[in-house]
Structure 1
């Protein structure tokens, strides 16, 4: 019986294969009718008296109304010491309210009708988008007019935008691929180029409301504005509405400066970014690219597709399929209108095959200049572009916004069709010529992000000379203040600190603290939402520490036992070894803890510098700056001027939400084993609430399990 079933299965399989073979042969013989000609809808163009250019495309298929605005400005216009200004301006124009509504009121208005209005500023242009049901066209246009013409830049929304920027800065080295492309652009264009630079804590901190107002005033004028509209509308009625909301906008301002030219020199160089917590290398290599208007742009499209544009490209076939060196490998030759794009080839490979992958990619770049593409490669190189051409017209939005962009740059309306015709004409000799004219394998900038000690050979042996190590350390936002460390201030500072120690239980009692055990709740504040996290914390002096944070069914551990330890990786939730930096951070945190400061107040390590008086939460306080023996700041303490009870603590730190000055305010004191300590601590980062800790149980010198600081199984 089983033998019969097997025979039947074999028979069915053979029959299926024969059928498939016949079908494949039949498909090859099929004839398809010629595709109908692509028809691009007509766009009406109107220029208002004040210079606003309109692009109108009616589409009554759905009761929707859409607007896209382009403003001739960009981050290239912001000062080098205020990088991030344009981005924040583009955000807070919308979130920071207008002369008529607050930002929150605009949110409520739009949410009530299922609409959206957003603003932004990029590298070479700013803009806005409106999406609304056509019955609310007036509301959409009025809100758009308000945010473009009359933003007030509310201070609290500016600070919120800054918090988001700082948070992005703090996380920017988390992703190796993100590091790779960010640093590559800096190599190609220059670290200070507006086409590659990025914000830092210092540049964000320097931005003021006056800066935002001035930037908006300088560039947001009607002659710099284009407005594309598509959807369900009547042209005559729409023009009347646009005139109502934008017609009285007066011309002003000066001629907008052109984006800067790119100064580039072809040369060979290898760059390395050390990333020790990875087992793969991210590789990118190339040089400057070209312009969209170059005569051989179409030839480059096909050339790039043959080299690394997709599955079946030379890079894919060699680096991935034949050599098995990388899962991800591709090449891109980008082009811009106002400044050159970049040519780059990317691969992600295991650390042990890093240099082999680099050399294989270089070999394929060189081969593009000597080996003409085959018939299959030419078909693949063209089809990748031609088969997707129709999708450049699959929405009214693409049609009208592309026309608006072409019009701004002075490109012909049929530019895209000319490009398509030129791609169709490309021949193998054209690809070779494009490779010889545009690829420079002898002058490649090669960047590798990874763990160098695991590479198959030193990068110096690639044959491109010495290797430049790229420092991706995020510059501190800490503002060093001038502190008068004089004998008088040291004496007075120590007097204040000693009175504070006595007010909290006395030096002798603090020196008796050998261990602590804490249970409580940690409230993490994120964009107005508080996330409760259960915490347990054990510490045995001097250098054993264990924290357990329980959130959403997950436990996040950190255990330090002397100079080693383990922590939960919050991406994979796996236990990993603590780094030297982690150990140093734990020591730094303990050095500025209240117990450690008071218990070691007689230690020469701590210098207490009197720093005047002031107020914290309207309470008169005396400030004492703690510095170490090298005069480096540890933290700033605020004590009640009358009782010397601790009121607050200030210090610089880097957090997942960004870096800056942490302000801790403490309250709800309790007597525990002879010492007086706060049970509630609220933390603010750059004036924004970050977290709150409420301690429910605090035990000093309790029983600690002997294996508490062992590595968990």
Structure 2
């Protein structure tokens, strides 16, 4: 079965210009770079409506399209015990107006071949130029007269709560939530987060009140980009947005910069379902775009963790192979409230080592002068990306908006490349020391505590424990005392008895399962048909509606293959050997007592489970977890090598139901690296529907 799972996961998974040159050029010498080019950026056409809306227009006639971006420049707002109100308002906006129903509104936008979206701080629309006037009219109507009904409010509120339930076991969701909350504080605009409790506190009137006090033209910008002239644009905006009345907006305090911790510490969040550790080293910074350090800060962060050439990536991925990627970011905020953050997802067994390497690289850029060539390469890459971005008209508009919103000098972007190229070796070290505050950082780790905390404790760093909702807590109990004289063989026997008994299991010669497959991040949902025949024959086919069979895998007891998109690959020898080693449809019936070991009693998603270590004939190990109360298998873990990377695959089993007298898991969730697949069984049979021909 593991081979099937690995295959499913695998399934899911500068332009060169020639110049004429003189033969006398010395090609052994790299030409000297010239001075940084002076960027000439055409200023957008600007005007302001009487109600305070500032309009920026960038004409571009290459395509007969035009886009409109509405940006309402509000300060961040603390929502407190009703956090989530803005999210619900965002979901409700743009779905009709007081004069046009939701269905008619969305149908007309689709009919015009346009796109339109709204949020609590603005909106966006894009359409063919010939339909632009109507789209602006619809956009303005939706902004000024949104259709906010209690029925829609209740629907969106339920969706938010369902989303929380779906994310309950998400390590990424917990890491993002806790990271901001610990860095800024849960009562800070950048640190608060919504929960089921806060969303349940929200009433329909709260959404209406938020719209009234935040959605106004007073501090709004409209950015227009595309195939439209100034006269037409002015007429459109004045006619449709000009009647939007100003509002007496309440005063909102600017967010304050929160102090960093007194000493570097590990903040650990235990999530027993984590198959890898999510590491983030972070400290708060006071950095604005108009600060003299800004350009040096960009380059310094790029050198540390801006991509594949960064210190972090080269160390943790290329050298150590701990992760798929390690990166850093350094934010700049108009309020001087932001964070430095260095992060990666690593295997459980190397979590402590990864922390050591993170700290080493951050200290390295703070204490060792950067190699001049590394600095030169970083600047060249940044300059190239900057110049390429200028080819997009939207970039020009965004730059103009940045100047307005961040109080930048008018020539900020004209001098951008010059300022980048002036960054020196000394600047990099100075900026790193100032903003990469490794002596006062939080090392936030979300992972499986039973696997990683013992090694973290040997790093001699203070460890503080938090829940996945950023509440301080005591160190979790990772294992509990085992019952006296209980053995791994006892646990396996209890499982066999719980699902039907040895006689019934041995009487099953074939199984056939059909399941709907959900692949995280993928829009399509395949249907899998898995057939097995004792002792080790297997067939798995995946179909997508409208596409037929997109992948098939077969093993006939002696050899096998995988077929995908018309290409057939013979099963490698190691996979053939693994498949041959299977002795039956239910492995617990055939496990050698000398090769199974009861390690501990642990918590698996709130369920006490016996952790059994299984050693294969080739010496490789895996782990199986059996619920202490029911005896059911609820989880397996196995680490394999793929493309030079160690991948831990975790399979979770649930929703056991009787099939022909045997209890079988109807839900199977497989997590392997970044891939997450969930199988929901729709049909299950034993001893029927399977023939020898299925495995050819």
TM-score by length of 1: 0.62
Matched residue, 2:333: 336
Equivalent position of 1:180 in the other structure: 175
- Which residue of structure 2 lines up, in the alignment, with residue 42 of structure 1? 43
Alignment partners' CA distance in 2, 1:399 and 1:353: 44
Match of 1:286 in 2: 282
Offset from partner CA, 1:560-610 (integer Å, 9 cap, x none): 9933135899xxxx997657xx6xx87xx99xxxxxxxxxxxxxxxxxxxx
Residues 221-255 of structure 1: CA distance to partner in whole angstroms, max 9, x if unpaired? 22222111122223223222222212222222135
Task: Tell me which residue corresponds to 1:628.
Answer: none
Report the Cα distance in structure 2 between the residues aligned to 1:523 and 1:29, rounded to whole angstroms. 58
Contact 1:62/1:231 (8 A) holds in 2: yes
Tell me, what secondary structure is at the counterpart of 2:433?
Answer: helix
Tell me which of 256, 268, 288 is aligned to 1:272.
268
The change in CA–CA distance for 1:78 and 1:300 in structure 2 (over 3 A counts) is closer
CA contact (8 A) 1:304 1:331 kept: yes
Give 1:386 deviation, angstroms.
Answer: 1.9
**Distance (Å, rounded) in 1 between the aligned partners of 2:250 and 2:187:** 24
Name the CA distance, whole Å, in 1 between partners of 2:342 and 2:412. 27
Residues 253-268 of structure 1 aligned to structure 2 (within 5 Å) = 253-267=248-262, 268=264
Indicate the residue corresponding to 1:320 in structure 2.
317
Q: Could you tell me whether the CA contact under 8 Å between 2:257 and 2:284 is conserved in 1?
A: no
Matching of residue 216 in structure 1 with residue 214 in structure 2: no
Counterpart of 1:55? Answer: 56
Secondary structure, counterpart of 1:89 in structure 2: helix
What is the rounded CA distance, in whole Å, between the counterparts of 2:165 and 2:303 in structure 1?
39
Partner of 1:379: 376
User: Helix, strand or coil: the match of 2:218?
Assistant: helix
Residues 356 and 456 in structure 1, CA contact (< 8 A), matched pair in contact too: no
CA distance in 2, matches of 1:332, 1:704: 54
* 2:71 paired with 1:77: no
Q: Report the CA distance shift for 1:25/1:180 in structure 2 as closer, same or farther (over 3 A).
A: farther
- CA 1:318–1:231 in structure 2 vs 1: closer, same or farther (change >3 Å)? closer
TM superposition shift of 1:398: 1.9
- Deviation of 1:289 (Å): 2.5
**Matches of 1:333 and 1:474, distance apart in 2:** 23
SS of residue in 2 equivalent to 1:455: helix
Structure 2: how far apart are the matches of 1:398 and 1:532?
39
**RMSD of equivalent CA atoms:** 4.5
CA distance in 2, matches of 1:327, 1:412: 40
Q: Match of 1:307?
A: 304
Give the Cα separation in 2 of the matches to 1:532 and 1:364. Answer: 43
Gap regions ≥5 residues in structure 1: 1-21, 476-520, 525-530, 536-549, 555-559, 591-655, 657-693, 696-702, 706-713
Aligned counterpart, 2:88: 88
Relative to 1, partners in 2 of residues 1:225 and 1:316: Cα closer, same or farther, differing over 3 Å?
Answer: closer
User: When the two structures are aligned, how many residues end up with a matched partner?
Assistant: 507
Q: How does 1:78-117 map to 2 (within 5 A)?
A: 79-95=79-95, 97-117=96-116
Counterparts in 2 of 1:452 and 1:255: CA distance versus 1, 3 Å:
closer
- Say if 2:445 is the partner of 1:448: yes
Given that 2:37 and 2:418 are in contact with CA atoms closer than 8 Å, whether structure 1 keeps it comes out as: no
Q: 1:143 maps to what in 2?
A: 138
Distance 2:74 2:183 in 1: 23
Q: Specify the structure having the higher radius of gyration (Cα).
A: 1
Contact 2:39 2:413 in 1 (8 A): no
Tell me if structure 1 keeps the 8 A contact 2:260–2:440: no
- The counterpart of 2:293, out of the listed 293, 296, 303, is 296
Tell me what 1:195 maps to: 190
2:229 to 225, 234, 243: 234
Change (3 A) 1:159 1:79: same
SS at match of 2:191: coil
CA distance change for structure 1 residues 393 and 523 in 2, over 3 Å: closer, same or farther? closer
- Counterpart selection for 1:564 from 632, 635, 638: 632
Return the alpha-carbon distance in structure 2 between the equivalents of residues 142 and 370 of structure 1.
58
Supply the distance in 2 between the matched residues of 1:35 and 1:430 (Cα, whole angstroms).
Answer: 18
Correspondence list, 1:486-501, <5 A: none
Q: 1:427 aligns with which of 424, 427, 444?
A: 424
Give the CA deviation at 1:210: 1.7
> Partner of 1:65 in structure 2?
66
Distance 1:237-1:174 versus aligned 2 partners, 3 A rule: same
Which whole-Å CA distance do the structure 1 matches of 2:453 and 2:249 have between them?
57
Query: Could you list the runs of 4 or more consecutive aligned residues of structure 1 that deviate by over 4 angstroms after TM superposition?
Result: 24-37, 521-524, 531-535, 550-554, 566-569, 574-579
TM-superposition CA deviations, 1:395-445 (whole Å, max 9, x none): 111211331242133222332344433221111122222222223222221
**118 and 281 in structure 1: CA distance in 2 versus 1, 3 angstrom threshold:** same
Stretch moving more, 411-420 or 344-353: 411-420
Over 3 Å counting, the alpha-carbon distance change for 1:25 and 1:348 in structure 2 is farther
Instruction: Please state whether the residue corresponding to 2:468 is helix, strand or coil.
Output: coil
Classify the secondary structure of the residue corresponding to 2:358: helix
- Please tell me whether residue 412 in structure 1 is matched to residue 412 in structure 2: no
- Contact 2:58/2:226 (<8 A) preserved: yes
Helix, strand or coil at the partner of 2:413: helix
Indicate yes or no: 2:400 matched with 1:400: no
Is 1:346 paired with 2:343? Answer: yes
- What is the 5 A alignment of 1:412-561? 412-455=409-452, 457-465=454-462, 467-472=463-468
Q: 1:522, 1:310 → 2: CA distance?
A: 39
1-side partners of 2:39 and 2:651: how far apart? Answer: 60
How far the C-alpha of 1:181 sits from its partner, in A, is: 3.3
Alpha carbons 2:255, 2:337 under 8 Å: kept: no
> What secondary structure is seen at the aligned counterpart in 1 of 2:377?
helix
Q: Report the Cα distance in structure 2 between the residues aligned to 1:327 and 1:568, rounded to whole angstroms.
A: 23
The offset of 1:261, in angstroms, is: 1.0
* Secondary structure at the counterpart of residue 286 of structure 1: strand
**Displacement, 1:174?**
4.3
CA contact (8 A) 2:78 2:188 kept: no
> What's the CA shift string for 1:618-657, capped at 9, x where partnerless?
xxxxxxxxxxxxxxxxxxxxxxxxxxxxxxxxxxxxxx9x
Shift of 1:532: 13
Q: Secondary structure at the match of 2:369?
A: coil
Instruction: Quickly say closer, same or farther: Cα 1:575–1:329, change in 2 above 3 A.
Output: closer
- The secondary structure found in structure 1 opposite 2:123 is strand
**Residues 547-569 of structure 1, C-alpha deviations (whole Å, 9 max, x = no match):** xxx99799xxxxx9933135899
Give the superposition deviation at 1:129: 0.6
Q: What residue in structure 2 maps to residue 128 of structure 1?
A: 123
